[in-house]
Structure 1
Amino acid sequence: MRSLQLPVPGGTLHALRFGDGDRIAVAAHGITASAMSFRAVARHLPGGWSLIALDLRGRGGSADVPGPYGMDAHAADLAAVAEHLGAPVALVGQSMGAYAAVRAAARTPQLFDRLVLVDGGLPLPVPAQFDADRLLELTIGPAVARLRETYASVEAYVDFFRAHPALAGEWNDDMEAYVRYDAVGEPGAVRSRTSTEAVYADGRDLLVGAASFGDDLRALAVPATLLHAPRGMLGQEPGMLPQPIVDHWAVQAPLLAPELVADTNHYTILMTDGPAERIARRLTAPA
């Protein structure tokens, strides 16, 4: 694993490169996550491949990269990275990163030869009339509250995650590495590196622009695999993408092939070995 700085509109993004192969896969993470969330997937890449996992604007090593945020901005960053690395490349996105990946693939299909979506990328139904701020607090409020907390030490921050209901039963070294990568600050004031401004802006965009992601899916000219989990962010059923929504978009988007990954939740689908190996296979399988 080594660090990279990659040019994007208005600045540079930090990324982690796993592997030294000539075939390239680019990865986009979730709304409060970082490049390190793809560590398990990278370990399962076949020979000849490298995974370039981005720290999106406002996260990880790109925490100080300013906006604009939102899926248009993240998609433009993904396109710039693909061009810089030598397109076409494979593209994978998890959770929020899946929405950015769908948009990038729909708008610049010449830059990507395959797309893997991990528990994200499908429009979620929102009420016809809704208060975006209120809905934001209900959906991402708990995550933002965690970003504002401080911890006595990095170990205390790790312990907080180790007790998370979606992680506790399957805690592993990849999850611990992810949490340690996210931690910043002096003892007594350790916190997440993720920008609350970025999370709110991106969360608002996902809600207000929900219908536009359906347009992106219908416009796809790149083969796409959707791997989705039966359980959600707290390890509960249903998952982030309930089966009726998956079934609907499997019909609406002809190039989308959904696969349920049994016995996973929103996090373990990415950061445990069996599912991570499956993501790697879908990402690197011969066309």
Structure 2
Amino acid sequence: MSVLAPARRPKPAPATTARPPRRPWTLSRAAVNGALVLATAYTLLPLGWLLTAAAKNTGDLLGGATLTPSRWHLGDNLRQLATTGDGIYFRWYLNSLLYAGIGALLCAFVCIAAGYAFHVYAFRGKEKLFGLVLLGVLVPTTALALPMYLLASKLGIVNSFWAVFIPSLVNPFGVYLARVFCAGYVPGEVLEASRMDGAGELRTFWSIGLRMVMPGYVTVFLFQFTAIWNNFFLPLVMLSDNRLFPVSLGLFTWNSQTHAFPEYYPLVVTGALLAVVPLVVAFVVLQRHWKAGLTAGAVK
């Protein structure tokens, strides 16, 4: 009687360590860091030129010696800026702060209130009305300058503070952005609990809704502050009194006179440097509020 030998199992193939696929050189850490450095340098180069050019006199600016650190005249330029036209530049500066500061505060509040209403309340024709608001985003502001001028002429406010201030209170994109923020930060359960505690609608919005959506308020404020501060075409159409000019329009008038009066070159460059300061300060001071309410709408 023969005994069958057990079949031998084939030996497993030796395990091979799989190497991760090599990333292309365009995605390597050195390439990405180099691209970021180039992008940063490209962004900061105009600001660096402005910092050095603001400390040059007319001869250095016209001679192309703006980046040489040999001669600095920043103090002289500031004194000349403060005395030219009886200090008209700082009046333009104050006008821009009033237009942009107060206008952005009120505009952000109006946008948040409108976005809150679109998110919380249900009323007839809500989506159609919101679509009409979005339609306003597609219309460029330059196309509205002439109709607004004719309307301001009918109201008799042309060449006044209100001709520039009142249009800055409207921002259709801010309403859209506010509704998006309200949808993410304001849960209906919290509002319902507030109503059950006896709070009215205005009290609920002021004490709960507005505080929850504060990062959205800051975002809309910064967008509108930047837009109003850089606004040029609307003041150009509305204003003829140079005492009401914002900084952007005032520097434009000086720059248009540099061919006849070259001494305005340092004033324009130094004034442009000072005009950047409020924007930088606003973004640096308010950026922390963007992170303050990331969990404000959480329901426990």
TM-score (norm: length of structure 1): 0.23
- Larger Rg: 1 or 2? 2
Q: Which has the higher helix share?
A: 2
Q: Which has the higher strand share?
A: 1
TM-score (norm: length of structure 2): 0.22
